[in-house]
């Protein structure tokens, strides 16, 4: 997941290549009804169900309304999705999502999709991408942190955030980068305040405090040319999936089994 152009498809391709190199069964799922070119042919493709192009042409919708229409159409045809995914329940699926940010923040479409995967007993990890260049404009960076947080809160699934396109970021000291990997909102607010009118400083402070109070957003760097960063991300995803599986409510025990005694 992530905003338009944040590097979602590149992430999918990078992880697909890496998984294939280490001999792991992996499939690409495309959920973007506007996607055109793929480096790997998707095993499941929303365009087999509906395409943005058709919706725009036939219903005269614009790109954003059309996208939402396509996703709602998918929601009304979840049996199609469940049948498609049902063929791969033992494998690793990488789901490339559309870039419209409202899908993760104020529609429940992704949430319903997550529930559909849950019905198939598929363990999930959300991966949210934010471009590294955002660190050069702290207001944008904070907007990105807030949208990542919003996705985490809405979806309630094991989740990691990835800072993409690290090769494009000018060299920075490790200590400086750490401020972004684990955002220190109050420290960063000083820079944002320097660029905004004093009448917004209280608002900036409140936003910083919100990020601090939730204290749940951290980023892992992805440099597609650095195998170590790819391995590290995949291992975090695996751990998050394992964590999610460990948290699954257990089947209720048979009567009499494991009953607590009255003294407990
Ligand atoms: N240098 C560099 N460019 C990247 C990287 N990741 C993505 N890009 C470029 O950024 C642009 C957008 O990348 P995509 O992977 O298509 O991003 P996306 O999030 O799938 O985009 P949408 O599907 O349109 O939302 C493309 O031109 C990519 O080549 C990266 O790690 N390094």
Q: Write out pLDDT tens, residues 139-148.
A: 889 899 999 9
The number of the ligand 1 atom at minimal distance from the alpha carbon of 2 is 19
The number of the ligand 1 atom at minimal distance from the alpha carbon of 99 is 25
Residue with tokens 């690290």: 166
The number of the ligand 1 atom at minimal distance from the alpha carbon of 164 is 31
Averaged pLDDT, 89-108: 87
Average pLDDT value over all residues in the chain = 89
pLDDT, tens digit (0-9, with 9 covering 90-100), for 4-60: 999 999 999 999 999 999 999 999 999 999 998 889 999 999 999 999 999 999 999
**Is the CB of 63 inside a 6 Å radius of any atom of ligand 1?**
no
What are residue 15's phi and psi, to 5 degrees? -70, -35
pLDDT, tens digit (0-9, with 9 covering 90-100), for 169-196: 888 888 888 989 999 887 677 788 888 8
**Is the CB of 5 inside a 6 Å radius of any atom of ligand 1?**
yes
**Is the CB of 8 inside a 6 Å radius of any atom of ligand 1?**
yes
Give ipTM to 2 decimals. 0.98
Beta carbons of 154 and 216 less than 8 angstroms apart: no
Q: From ligand 1's centre to the CA of 20, what distance in Å?
A: 21
Q: Decide: helix, strand or coil at residue 94.
A: strand
Task: Report the range of poorest mean pLDDT among 80-84, 149-153, 247-251.
Answer: 247-251
Q: Decide: helix, strand or coil at residue 198.
A: helix
- Residue 258 pLDDT greater than 90, yes or no: no
More confident residue, 57 or 260: 57
User: Ligand 1: which of 8, 9, 10, 15 to mutate, judged by most atoms within 8 Å of the beta carbon?
Assistant: 10
- Residue 92 pLDDT greater than 90, yes or no: yes
Q: Decide: helix, strand or coil at residue 241.
A: helix
pLDDT at 102: 81
Q: From ligand 1's centre to the CA of 201, what distance in Å?
A: 34
pLDDT at 264: 37
Q: From ligand 1's centre to the CA of 107, what distance in Å?
A: 24
pLDDT at 249: 63
Averaged pLDDT, 106-130: 91
Beta carbons of 123 and 241 less than 8 angstroms apart: yes
Least Cα distance to 35 among 19, 13, 15 occurs for 13
Averaged pLDDT, 80-94: 91
Query: From atom 9 of ligand 1, which residue's Cα is the shortest distance away?
Result: 7
Q: From ligand 1's centre to the CA of 6, what distance in Å?
A: 6
Could you tell me the CA-to-CA distances from 211 to 59, 131, 154, 205, 214 in Å, in that order? 41, 19, 15, 10, 5
The number of the ligand 1 atom at minimal distance from the alpha carbon of 223 is 31
Q: Decide: helix, strand or coil at residue 57.
A: helix
Paired tokens of 56: 């725009």
The number of the ligand 1 atom at minimal distance from the alpha carbon of 4 is 25
Q: From ligand 1's centre to the CA of 46, what distance in Å?
A: 20
pLDDT, tens digit (0-9, with 9 covering 90-100), for 200-253: 999 989 988 888 888 899 999 999 999 999 999 999 999 999 887 877 665 555
- Residue 118 pLDDT greater than 60, yes or no: yes
Q: What burial letters (b/e) apply to 113-146, b meaning 16+ CB within 10 Å? A: bbebbeeeebbbbbbbbbbbebbeebeebbbbbb
Please work out, in degrees rounded to the nearest 5, the angle formed at the alpha carbon of residue 23 by the alpha carbons of 19 and 29: 45
Our measurement of the distance from residue 43's CA atom to the centroid of its chain's CA atoms, rounded to an integer in Å, reads 20
Give residue 262's pLDDT band: very low, low, confident or very high (50, 70, 90).
very low
Query: From atom 11 of ligand 1, which residue's Cα is the shortest distance away?
Result: 5
Give residue 106's pLDDT band: very low, low, confident or very high (50, 70, 90).
confident
Q: Count CA atoms within 13 Å of residue 111 on its CB side.
A: 13
Give residue 261's pLDDT band: very low, low, confident or very high (50, 70, 90).
very low
Q: From ligand 1's centre to the CA of 260, what distance in Å?
A: 55
**Is the CB of 6 inside a 6 Å radius of any atom of ligand 1?**
yes
Q: Is 87 exposed, middle or buried (0-12, 13-18, 19+ CB in 10 A)?
A: exposed
**What percent of the chain clears pLDDT 90, i.e. is strictly above it?**
62
Give residue 263's pLDDT band: very low, low, confident or very high (50, 70, 90).
very low
Residues 6+ apart with CB under 8 A from 29: 42, 43, 44, 45, 85, 93, 94, 95, 96
């Amino acid at each position: 997941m992530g905003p338009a152009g944040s590097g979602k498809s590149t992430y999918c391709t990078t992880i697909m290549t890496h998984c294939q190199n280490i001999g792991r069964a992996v499939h690409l799922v495309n959920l973007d009804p506007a996607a055109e070119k793929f480096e790997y042919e998707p095993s499941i493709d929303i365009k087999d169900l509906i395409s943005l192009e058709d919706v725009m042409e036939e219903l005269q919708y614009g790109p954003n309304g059309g996208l939402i229409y396509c996703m709602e159409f998918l929601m009304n045809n979840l049996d199609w999705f469940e049948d498609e995914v049902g063929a791969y329940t033992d494998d690793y699926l990488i789901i490339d999502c559309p870039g419209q940010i409202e899908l993760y923040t104020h529609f429940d479409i992704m949430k319903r999709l997550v529930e559909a995967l849950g019905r198939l007993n598929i363990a999930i990890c959300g991966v949210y991408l934010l471009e590294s260049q955002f660190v050069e404009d702290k207001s944008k960076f904070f907007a990105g942190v807030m949208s990542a947080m919003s996705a985490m809160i809405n979806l309630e699934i094991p989740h990691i955030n990835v800072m993409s396109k690290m090769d494009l970021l000018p060299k920075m000291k490790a200590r400086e980068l750490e401020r972004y990997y684990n955002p220190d909102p109050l420290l960063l607010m000083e820079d944002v305040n320097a660029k905004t009118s004093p009448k917004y400083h209280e608002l900036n402070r409140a936003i910083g405090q919100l990020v601090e109070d939730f204290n749940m957003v951290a980023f892992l760097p992805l440099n597609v040319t650095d195998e170590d960063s790819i391995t590290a991300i995949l291992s975090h995803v695996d751990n998050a999936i394992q964590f999610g599986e460990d948290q699954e409510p257990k089947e209720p025990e048979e009567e009499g089994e494991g009953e607590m005694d009255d003294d407990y």
